[in-house]
Structures are given as C-alpha cells and as structure tokens.
A = this chain, B = another copy of it.
Amino acid sequence: MVDTGMKIYFCGSIRGGRQLASDYQRIIEMLQQFGLVLTEHLGDDREIETKDRILTDVQIHNRDMDWVRESDMVVAEVTIPSLGVGYEIGRAIELGKPILCLFRSDSKFYLSAMIGGSENVTLARYKNLLQLPAPIEEFISKRAPRHTS
C-alpha cells in the first residue's frame, strides 16, 4: 500500500450476496495503489467473519459510518443489489463525498435508476476487471487533492 494519506471507503454487497467477493478483492487491490482502503476486509469472507461476527448490527453500522465520514472518497461496486451499499452511497452524497460507482454491464442485474440517474455519483460500466484501472485512476486523480503532487 502506498502511504499517500488518502482514505478510500470501498462498498460491496455482504448480506445481499457474495458472488462477486473475489472481484471486490481485486478492486480493493487496485484502490490500495492510491491510498488506505478502510474496508479492506470486504473482499474476504473469513475477514468479514473475524471482524463483523463479534459486533452487533449497531456497532457495524456506526463503525462503517465513522469510516465513511473519515474517508476522502467512496468507491462502490454496485452490480449486486444491496441495501447497505445503497444506504452508504445515499449518506455519502449528503456528506459531500466524491463517489465512484462500478457496474458490471454483462451481469444479470439491472442498475437502479437512483444510481444510474444520480448526478452526484460518477458511474463506470465495465465488462471485465481489466477495464477498471483507467476509470479508477481518472476518478481518483481528479478528486483527491492530497493525492495529486
């Protein structure tokens, strides 16, 4: 991980479905090129088990909201419909955070109009993970003043 001082909050589905967990892990690794990913456990079921199963829902909620507030930006993988991901995006908008949403366009899922139609988020559609480094780098370099030299 590069220590740029930048903090990134990554969102992906947990209780909504874990089919893309290994993709979340790859995306987290891409984001770690730019700064600290506060939710780096999200790509690994065993890590989630270790970190979250000992917590109540209130503790998980409050820890995650503290992280959203503390973050410089939010990056959300939005392919699998997830209440928690939608909730975090909604709250992050009102908190003024820059938000990048990533949607896998060849999936069986339909993207919510509330994400596809929100002018407060940047949306990147992709068909494979190799297409992600470019929009991620573009988003971060434009929106992270502490990252640009």
**Is A147 part of the binding interface, using a Cβ–Cβ cutoff of 8 Å?**
no
Check if A90 is an interface residue, CB within 8 A of chain B: yes
List of B residues within 8 angstroms of A61 by Cβ = 113-114, 116-119
Residue in contact with A86 in the complex, picked from B17, B57, B82, B109, CB distance below 8 Å? B82
State whether B84 touches A112 (Cβ < 8 A).
yes
Complex interface: chain B residues within 8 A of A57 (CB) = 113, 116-117
Q: Which of B84, B85, B90, B110 contacts A91 (CB 8 A)?
A: B90
* Residues of the B chain whose Cβ atoms lie less than 8 Å from the Cβ of A52: 113
Given A89-B90, A91-B91, A94-B94, check contact A84 B115 (CB 8 Å): yes
A137 to chain B, nearest CB (A): 25
A83 CB within 8 Å of chain B: yes
Count residues of chain A with CB under 8 A from any CB of chain B: 42
A 108-133 contacts with B by CB, 8 A = 109-119
Whether B117 and A60, one on each chain, are in contact in the complex, defined by CB atoms closer than 8 angstroms, is yes
User: What residues of chain B lie closer than 8 Å to A15, measured between beta carbons?
Assistant: 81, 109-113
CB distance from A10 to the nearest CB of B (A): 14
Measured CB to CB, the nearest residue on chain B to A16 is: B81
